[in-house]
Structure 1
Amino acid sequence: MVAAQGGAAAGRPGGDGGLSGAAACPGLTGYTCATLNVPLDHSGGVPGRLGLKVAMADNVRAPKGVLLFLTGGPGQPGVPFVERLSKKLEPVLKDYRLVMIDQRGTGAGALQCPQLQEEMGSSDLTPPTARAVTDCAAAIGPERRHYSTNDTVADLESLRQALGVRKMTLDGVSYGTYTAERYALAYPRHVARLVLDSVVPQTGYDPMDRAALRAAPRVLTTACRATGCATDPAADLAEVVRRYGNGVDVIDALTTWEFVDPDYTAMIDALHQAANGDPAMLQGLIAGVREGGAASAEELSQGLHASTLCLDGRYPWGRSDTPVAGRQEALEKAGARLTPADYGPFDAATATGLGSMLSCLHWPRTPVPPLPSRERVLPDVPVLLLGGDRDLSTPLEWLYDQKKLTPRARVVVVPGAAHSVQSRAASDAGRQAVWDFLLDRR
């Protein structure tokens, strides 16, 4: 996890680190891979260093400079996706130098928590056992306090310095949008422009996922109309949750299903059957989603995911420096105050029982970093806010929340697209919007 010991200059991101071991990326023509050496603790208080993999296009003198692409999770690496993203961004890569990084705790340096990894796979929402969470935190140890977004932002500033550029353009997807926003807030003079695809607002992730719970009827109804289905999926969803009390399983499966089929065809059919008394198809889809969601820590580290969310998040009990003993009571009180306006067709048990909430409920007490003010706005640079109208992972409501804090926002919503528009959408409309934005074309 931590490379050779050694201090870092206090207050100076990267300390005496930089890029080392540069060589041609295996199997990638036109890219150089290297290791970014950063301190475990950017304040210099705790010794230790990390080596983060970086892949950089070889067009060092690209006229528009560096395009840093940030992947999601938190917990997803960057370097393994260079080939795929370079194809999606090909029209702009004569003008930009594409750079991708394995953020701390991901990829080859993934935080390893075997039981938590097995229980949650690639899901944010699957509820883990308390034992898996506490074993994970114990395995990482006190170093878990150094895996917040603040730490990743400082790593990105170290990367900028190592690349020798004054400004970067950042393109983030999902959690990568939050990282990009936080970098822009911390280092506004070093940002040229931002692409925020599938937006997590800078105010942070809601562990009750209320926006997604409320958005589910809209998303399913939109998909139904587009495909000409003859049912009422919003009514069916409400009846299923009322009848079976399985809201957590349903929203978890729906959120994953958008990656399988943004039309949600099978899910809409299964909800209709379950609402009419036959839950077999829905139960099968839920089981299939769980099985198909298996992922290694190198693909998406649940140890890093929990570490970051618990350090970054605001919860009904406060933050992760709150004593564990009173958290359950605070969560129950928060659940009792919820109304249908908060959770839509779901219920309070769904809002308080999601995996991202329960991971941090059981996470041991850990010192937390400061968070930026909720009222701060992004710097006055061009920003593209990109989303799909079928997205439940990061619903459009979050995009519009971020728009309120973005002085120079351009909004593009792609009909029929779900999560990660640039990478996954069938239509080129979102990608074209990104290309035009990056090349200053209206």
Structure 2
Amino acid sequence: MTNRKCANTTSIAQSGVLGLCQSATRVSRWVAVAAAILVANYSSAAPTNTPVAASAKTSTCYLDGMDEQLQCGKITVPENPKLADGKQIDIHFAILPAIKNTHPDEALLAISGGPGQSAIENAAGFNRMLTKVRQNRDILLIDQRGTGQSNLLSCDDENMSFLSINDSELDTVAMTEACLASIEADVTQYGSNNAVKDFEAVRQFLGYNKLHLYGISYGSRMAQLYMRHYPEALATVTLDGVVPMQQSLIAIGSSIERGLNVLWRDCQSNLECQQQFPDLVDKYNKVDQQLANAPISQQVRDPQTDELTEFLLTRSKFTGAIRMAMYMPNIRALIPHAIHQAANGNYQPILGIYALTADSTGIALGMHSTVVCGEDIHRITEQMRKDAKESYIAGSMLDGLVKTCEAWPIPAEDDSFGQPIDSDIPTLLLSGELDPATPPNWGAMAQEKLTKSKHLIAPYATHGVAYQSCGNDLIAQLVDQGSLKDINGECLQKDVRRSFYLNANTVETLPIVKNDTEIKTDTTAPAKTAEDKE
């Protein structure tokens, strides 16, 4: 099963992308839809009381990154749930069967981020992270409508070179309008609330009595909506990199600025990084200002083909590369060196980061645009607009999304959509202190009315705590015992940070503090446990 390409109307710096990057797919520059007219209805998803044999409702399949035989299938649902006899679309799912299925009536549903990532394409990553859960329960992956195999909403332009294109000159509105004109699907039907109905239809079709949920980033919004609409179907919930219902995705702009400030702090509080890059912020501002005046063109080696090619470095490519690198600890460690080299006229390290991050989001931005334009853009406050003007990253992101939504007409969700989830389902919330997208205070906001919840903050994690720490063990513990009892964040105190690269070949070693006379380079706060609600 091959990866789907990501569609993007603007540069990556202007996108509202939240999701953890779990697969590598090339970012292209268009938003669009590929839609198919199908012929069944919701009756195929009639409830059953117990799971049936997989062979009765699925077929064997193989997924990228996994060498074992799995089970895949699909259900067919109305594109518009209010028009049962109208156009139909297929919703695809995959099951990673339990090693020893002691709980055949339960599964863990893992929900991808984005908005716009395919869960099925990220099966290998979910499998590694949820290996302990899978010992006794199936892992269920569903390609949300508009993503992956479920009527993918994307439009690629293979002729655009992501290295040489001047993304600052792209006409976002014109491109979005042209793409929308080619669409056969009703894009208004690809929002989060309709997608939750699909998820529940799959559960009923497969006959699971209860689901455990794991939602990462935007997937945490989907998990919360599942809690709101179908609480009786859920046993436990884990929200990782939390997007509270009260928060517009547009607020990610200020979170990115926070992420940058944390990066500067980490470098300055680390002896070797501070000595090697004492004026890191000044160097960043120098490159940023140079690119604000004019893009820089260089002949470079293509990171994929090793052929000589033009690399046109624009301001949005530069800031977008830095922004996306902050999501991933191994690439975050390269940022100081790359900035230092760029300030000295060597853009090859920035090219490397840009190529890595531009190839990593896997977002179907047709679906992404429907979500953001219907659920978030109308929640922009005057304070958010004011804050955005203070930051190029936040300002360009807001401007790009506003322009996209002008050409992507989606009815706004009503005010009830943004109300906090009121639930007594055992819920674990995980936040990374270094997260450049969903900071810890977002997790605290989501916890407002979750009466049985625990919010843990991992001091050394970025985006996706369970992928970088013992968070995956905590999820397995929650699923096994069905409650938050005895779950604590002590194991999250383990320092899992990557050492900063001092040059292209070496990384520094964090000094060990042996006594009060030595310089302490690790000033990150210890693991924090927010308020528990039992």
The whole-number CA distance in structure 2 between the counterparts of 1:304 and 1:131 is 18
Q: 2:191 aligns with which of 148, 167, 175?
A: 148
Q: 2:87 aligns with which of 34, 39, 48?
A: 48
SS in 2 for 1:280: coil
What residue number does 1:186 align with?
229
The whole-number CA distance in structure 2 between the counterparts of 1:351 and 1:412 is 27
How big is each residue's C-alpha offset from its partner over 1:308-347, in whole Å with a ceiling of 9 and x where there is no partner?
22222234789xxxxxxxxxxxxxxx59961xxx35xx82
What residue number does 2:249 align with?
206
CA contact (8 A) 1:167 1:191 kept: yes
Give yes or no for the alignment of 1:2 onto 2:36.
yes
Letter in 2 for 1:384: L
What residue number does 2:420 align with?
376
What residue number does 2:154 align with?
112
The whole-number CA distance in structure 1 between the counterparts of 2:61 and 2:452 is 36
**Inter-CA distance 171–337: structure 2 relative to 1 (3 Å threshold):** closer
CA contact (8 A) 2:144 2:195 kept: yes
**Inter-CA distance 135–292: structure 2 relative to 1 (3 Å threshold):** farther
The whole-number CA distance in structure 2 between the counterparts of 1:80 and 1:153 is 19
CA contact (8 A) 2:326 2:462 kept: yes
Letter in 2 for 1:154: K
CA contact (8 A) 2:38 2:90 kept: no
**Inter-CA distance 141–77: structure 2 relative to 1 (3 Å threshold):** same
The whole-number CA distance in structure 1 between the counterparts of 2:213 and 2:162 is 29
What residue number does 2:58 align with?
22
Q: 1:62 aligns with which of 92, 103, 111?
A: 103
The whole-number CA distance in structure 1 between the counterparts of 2:94 and 2:229 is 24
SS in 2 for 1:404: helix
Letter in 2 for 1:166: N
CA contact (8 A) 2:253 2:393 kept: no
Unaligned runs of 5+ in 1: 9-13, 319-333
How big is each residue's C-alpha offset from its partner over 1:81-103, in whole Å with a ceiling of 9 and x where there is no partner?
32332232122223322111111
Letter in 2 for 1:152: A
| Higher mean C-alpha displacement, 49-58 vs 146-155 | 49-58
Q: 2:179 aligns with which of 111, 136, 152?
A: 136
What residue number does 2:456 align with?
412
CA contact (8 A) 2:105 2:210 kept: no
What residue number does 1:280 align with?
345
The number of equivalent residue pairs is 405
What residue number does 1:391 align with?
435
| Higher mean C-alpha displacement, 19-28 vs 92-101 | 19-28
Unaligned runs of 5+ in 2: 1-34, 47-53, 293-313, 488-534
- Greater fraction helix: 1
State the superposition RMSD in angstroms: 3.7
Give yes or no for the alignment of 1:311 onto 2:347.
no
CA contact (8 A) 2:327 2:436 kept: no
**Inter-CA distance 39–296: structure 2 relative to 1 (3 Å threshold):** farther
What residue number does 2:321 align with?
253
The whole-number CA distance in structure 1 between the counterparts of 2:162 and 2:140 is 30
Give yes or no for the alignment of 1:76 onto 2:117.
yes
CA contact (8 A) 1:117 1:301 kept: no
What residue number does 1:38 align with?
77
What residue number does 2:138 align with?
97
CA contact (8 A) 1:172 1:180 kept: yes
How big is each residue's C-alpha offset from its partner over 1:19-42, in whole Å with a ceiling of 9 and x where there is no partner?
986212236646321112221111
CA contact (8 A) 1:91 1:435 kept: yes
The whole-number CA distance in structure 1 between the counterparts of 2:254 and 2:477 is 30
CA contact (8 A) 2:256 2:323 kept: no
CA contact (8 A) 1:120 1:302 kept: no
The whole-number CA distance in structure 1 between the counterparts of 2:371 and 2:384 is 27
**Inter-CA distance 288–118: structure 2 relative to 1 (3 Å threshold):** farther
How big is each residue's C-alpha offset from its partner over 1:272-305, in whole Å with a ceiling of 9 and x where there is no partner?
577xxx3635x555544444344599x4322222
CA contact (8 A) 1:133 1:362 kept: no
**Inter-CA distance 397–232: structure 2 relative to 1 (3 Å threshold):** farther
Give yes or no for the alignment of 1:216 onto 2:259.
yes
**Inter-CA distance 119–366: structure 2 relative to 1 (3 Å threshold):** farther
SS in 2 for 1:140: coil
Q: TM-score, normalised by structure 2?
A: 0.66
Identity of matched residues, %: 22
Letter in 1 for 2:240: D
What residue number does 1:266 align with?
334
What residue number does 1:302 align with?
365
CA contact (8 A) 1:253 1:285 kept: no
C-alpha displacement of 1:70: 0.6
C-alpha displacement of 1:145: 0.5
